[in-house]
Structure 1
Amino acid sequence: MQRSTFVRLTAIALAAAALSGAATAQQVINLTVASSHPTTIPWVGFIKDVFMPEVDKRLAAGGKYKIQWKEAFGGQLYKANATLTSVEQGITDIGWVFSYLEPAKMPLSQLSAHTPFTTSDPRIVLGAMTEMIEKNPAFKAEWDKYNIVFLGATGSDTYDIWTKNPVKSVDDLKGRKLSAPGILGVWLRGVGATPVDGALTTYYTDIQTGVSEGVVSLATGILPAKVYEVAPYITKVNMGVVFSGGVAINKDSWAKLPPEVQQAMREAGAEYTRRHGEDLLQRHQTAMNRMVELGKTQNPPVTVTPMSEADRRKWIDNMPNLAGEWVKNNEARGVQARALLTQYMAAVKARGAKPERDWEK
């Protein structure tokens, strides 16, 4: 064999060995990612379409680690009432935690639900709540105590009302049974409606069976859940955006991850939060328009009616002091809640919010 041929073959063999060694050195990490809601719900879909690919992209660049994802979205492992405990107990490694269905366990996380009519921009609320969780020890501890690590924030577009029958004025809501998720039922105290606890996965059946007469909800969730089919009268109230929870990982699973993987997940969580907020802002009106289009041939057709500013003002003014109640209840637990309320309101105002009620007073 000629020397040049020998050298060339040797080089090829060494390169192949190097590639084989690199592939062998890449550690595969098995993780389960799950949710109670289907991926058609925007913030769940973004776990699959944004969070997971962003983690993969960062790990691929490093070359040392690869995640083998086992997906269990859409309630395959647990339902909406078990999102916190399922991540806490390691039923899933990573999952969406629906914090405002957990008012007893996560009272601080209900802060935005106690300050309605603050802003209709989800980016503002997601940014402010992420800041609170990452930088305020009390907020961080509320996630840590349940054996979970917060990675990215989820929220809503602005809230409106879907009903079986028309709402001609705010007084029409008095005595009506309206489904609402968890703590958001307190918003109905300003109009005398009766809250019925529920979630996007139950609203359609609740209305269909007469458990409730409508819902307090958000366009981006109602559209894929098709609730407009049984509650075609949309009253635009623009009650504002709330923080609804976040993508989180079981702390025991987290502790087993190499620092490089943890960092990739932190960065992917931040990207998830940013893109989720932007998407909600753009998607809201699109969802409204789509419901009208899809519902134009049903009987009755889907209609959208803005609530008058006078009725909105009446609703806002007739609400009890929800923020004051949040402060009182948490201070009874030994938390300096008034300072937290002040910090939160300052954070949303710094991001451009102009609250329609001064909840600090």
Structure 2
Amino acid sequence: MRKLLGLLAGSTMLFSVAAQAQETINLTVAASHPTVVPWVGMIQTHFMARTDEILAEKGDYKIEWNEAFGGTLYKANATLSSVEEGITDIGWVFSFLEAAKLPLSQASSNAPFATSNPAIQLEVMQELMETNEAFRDEWESHNLKVLGLTGTDLYDFYTKEPITGIDDIAGMKLSAPGVLGNWLRGTDANAVDGALTTYYTDVQTGVSDGALTLALGALPIKLYEVAPYINRFDAGGAFSGAVAINRDSWDDLPEEVQNAMIEAGKYYTEAHGKDLVERHEFALNKMIELGSGQNPKVQIVEMPEGELVKWVNKMPNIAAEWAEPLDASGIPATEFIAAYMEGLRAKGETPARDWDK
């Protein structure tokens, strides 16, 4: 009996020592958008959860997450600076609104409709982040370490009134985030700068007549309530930003935690790409369902064949216009556009317009 008690006491002491040996690391994770926006919610369900899983396998470290989603720490116009300055340790950086600080990150937006497969696009951007020094450096120069990438599903026009084709948007005021306003050039529509957090109010109050946006963003913000006509072009997606960590916070982390986050970040990027593909149709159908009782009810307006090509050919050569001044300032934008386009072609994609040629 004494031997048994001794063994039990020894086991208890060993458990106590092991428990005490586990180090708890406090980190703040934040985003300007709420977790109902899929790529933000997946920071919780995929990046954070996977990091926790990996760390639990050895048990040396545990992260105490301080969550500040939904703009509680900063708004959409401060996503980069908030991570850079350490207002949050980890955050989603919305590259669309950071054209001056993250110029090469605007490449896919300035070479639109190059692919309508978000998962392939993220694969190419991940490869470029790993192999293209200029692309990687523009993020790291802002005291950041990139952990996972985000993109969009396909873009359509959500409007108060239906349209029959791209010619009908002439004269309309359409909300679009930052660089995506360029997609309206040549159409005679007027871009109203905004983000998912502003679209509903902008349309509701008449600041805009609708929005150029994506289904996975429109669904959670209930944009269909004020813009019930989803004019479907299936316009290609774009690289939209990254989950990044403040470099000072990163350097303070043990190597084991860093490695866990790198693996979790890749898992997040891959899962997010698949999610964009799988949930696009679901989101469109869900908006029809949820808006069936409103007046007017939500409707998808299919565009005639060839309207997407007609749209892209209305644009000036926005890729060249974007790249030339950057090239002149020493930023290899033309080279980066070519690497991006070739990366897509290598994976079997056929761009609607060869922006690099």
| TM bin (shorter chain) | over 0.9
Partner residue in 2 for 1:42? 38
Question: What secondary structure, in the 3-state scheme, does the structure 1 residue paired with 2:234 have?
Answer: coil
Partner residue in 2 for 1:145? 141
Question: What secondary structure, in the 3-state scheme, does the structure 2 residue paired with 1:276 have?
Answer: helix
Q: Distance in 1 between matches of 2:159 and 2:332?
A: 39
Q: Distance in 2 between matches of 1:106 and 1:175?
A: 31
Cα displacement string for residues 33-80 of structure 1 (whole angstroms, at most 9, x for unaligned residues): 010000000000000111101000010112110000000100110011
Return the match for 1:196 from 180, 192, 197. 192
Matched letter for residue 111 of structure 2: T
Return the match for 2:162 from 153, 159, 166. 166
Which consecutive unaligned segments of at least 5 residues does structure 1 have?
none
- The count of corresponding residues between Structure 1 and Structure 2 is 357
Using the size of structure 2 for normalisation, the TM-score is 0.98
Q: How much is the aligned-residue C-alpha RMSD, in angstroms?
A: 1.0
Partner residue in 1 for 2:230? 234
Matched letter for residue 190 of structure 1: G
Deviation at 1:6, TM superposition (A): 2.6
Deviation at 1:297, TM superposition (A): 1.5
Q: Distance in 2 between matches of 1:124 and 1:315?
A: 23
Deviation at 1:348, TM superposition (A): 1.4
Q: Does 1:9 align with 2:20?
A: no
Partner residue in 2 for 1:84? 80
Partner residue in 2 for 1:110? 106
Using the TM superposition, name which of 294-303 and 249-258 deviates more.
294-303
Using the size of structure 1 for normalisation, the TM-score is 0.97
Question: What secondary structure, in the 3-state scheme, does the structure 1 residue paired with 2:137 have?
Answer: helix
Question: What secondary structure, in the 3-state scheme, does the structure 1 residue paired with 2:306 have?
Answer: helix
Partner residue in 1 for 2:27? 31
Cα displacement string for residues 71-112 of structure 1 (whole angstroms, at most 9, x for unaligned residues): 010011001111001001111000000011111111100011
Q: Does 1:263 align with 2:259?
A: yes
Contact 1:38 1:73 in 2 (8 A): yes
Q: Distance in 1 between matches of 2:260 and 2:311?
A: 44
Which consecutive unaligned segments of at least 5 residues does structure 2 have?
none
Partner residue in 2 for 1:210? 206
Contact 1:115 1:359 in 2 (8 A): yes
Q: Distance in 1 between matches of 2:249 and 2:91?
A: 12
Deviation at 1:131, TM superposition (A): 1.2
Cα displacement string for residues 291-340 of structure 1 (whole angstroms, at most 9, x for unaligned residues): 11111121111111121123322211111112112221220220222221
Cα displacement string for residues 260-293 of structure 1 (whole angstroms, at most 9, x for unaligned residues): 0000000000000010010110100010011111
Percent sequence identity over matched residues? 56
- Runs of 4 or more off by more than 4 Å in structure 1? none
Partner residue in 2 for 1:358? 354
Contact 1:124 1:352 in 2 (8 A): no
Partner residue in 2 for 1:342? 338
